[in-house]
Amino acid sequence: AKGDGGAKYHIYHEEMYKKVALRVMMESEVRQALAKNQFSLSLQPQLEAKTKKLYGFEALLRWQHPERGMVSPEDFIPLLENSQYMVELGYWVIRRCFELCQTFIDKGLTDVRIAINLSAGQFADPHLTDYLIDLLAEFSLEANHFELELTEQTLVKNIDSAIEMMNGLRDIGFSFAIDDFGTGYSSLAYLKKMPVDVIKIDKSFVFGMLENRADYQIIMSTIAMVKKLGLLVIAEGVETSAQLRSLTENDCDIIQGYYFSKPIPETKLMEFIDTKIVN
C-alpha cells in the first residue's frame, strides 16, 4: 500500500508539473500573441425573440496562432485564470469592444449593445472601474452600450467586493449579466442581492430542451422566475427553429445561437451591419 501511495504521489506530481509547465508556456505565448496582434474578437448577434430585432452582440475572443491555427478560448482562458496576462488580455478585449462600438455607431447602428465576458481575475482587479471610466471619456461613449457578463463562479468568489463594484458601475450606466446560469453551485439567494439586469441560460440546458424533460422544466421555470424578478432573460445555444419557437412562446426575451448566427469574425462584421441598417 505504501508503494502504491508513493506511485500515486509521483503521478500526481508529474501531472502538476505538466499543468504548471503548460501554464507558464501559455503565459509567455499570450504575451507574444498580444504584441503580434494574434487576437481578435468574433461577435455573435443576439436577437429579440418576438420581433427578431437585433438586441446586441456578445464579444468572443479568438486566437489565431501561427502554428496551431485557431485556438479555442476554452483551451487557453482556463489556463490563464489566475494570471496577470488574463487581466491584460481582458483589458485588450474591453478596448477592442469600445473600438467596435464606435465603428458601429459611425455606421449608423446607434443603439448597439456589446456584451463583454469578464474573467474572475479581471473582475477582482481594482483598476477595472477606472479603466472603464477612462475609456468612456476617451471614446465619448455611453456606458449603456455595454453589458458585462460574469459567471456565478466569479460572483461567489468575490461576493462582497463584487456587489460594491457592480453598484458603482451600474450607477455609471453599465449593465450586468449572469452567464452560464444554472451551472454553478451557488444558491438562488444571491440573485436577490446581486445588482444584475440580465440572466443568460446556459446552452447545456438549451441543447436537449425538447428531448429532455428536466432541461425543459429547468429552462421554463428559470424564465418565469427571472421575469418575475423584473430581469431580462437570454437563452444561448439556440440551434433550431423548434427551440426558438418554444422559448419565444414561453416568454424568453433574447435569443443567441447558431440558428440565427455563429459568432461573426471582425472582418465580416461590417457586411452583417449593413444588412441591419435600414435607411
Q: Is 243 in the site for ligand C2E (CB under 6 A)?
A: no
At 26 the three-state DSSP class reads helix
Look at residue 72 and give the partner it binds from Ca ion, ligand C2E, none, a contact being a CB closer than 5 to 8 Å depending on partner kind: ligand C2E
| Residues that contact ligand C2E, how many (by CB under 6 A) | 24
How is residue 143 written as a grid cell? 456606458
Cβ proximity to Ca ion, 125 vs 149, nearer residue: 149
For 214, counting Cβ atoms within 10 Å of its Cβ (0-12 exposed, 13-18 middle, 19+ buried), the class is: exposed
Q: Is 157 in the site for ligand C2E (CB under 6 A)?
A: no
Assess contact for 141 and 100: CB atoms under 8 A.
no
CB of 257 to Ca ion, least distance (A): 11
Site string for Ca ion, 124-153 (x = CB under 5 A): -------------------------x----
Assess contact for 113 and 147: CB atoms under 8 A.
yes
Residues 6+ positions from 10 with CB-CB distance below 8 Å = none
CB of 40 to ligand C2E, least distance (A): 11
Instruction: Enumerate residues 49-68 that contact ligand C2E by CB under 6 A.
Output: 59-61
Phi-psi region of 173 (alpha: psi -120 to 50; beta: other; left: phi over 0): left
Cβ proximity to ligand C2E, 195 vs 263, nearer residue: 263
Distance, CA of 117 to CA of 262 (rounded, Å): 17
Residues interacting with ligand C2E, by CB under 6 A? 44, 59-61, 72-74, 77, 90, 93, 117-119, 179-180, 203, 236-239, 256-258, 263
Residues interacting with Ca ion, by CB under 5 A? 117, 149, 179-180
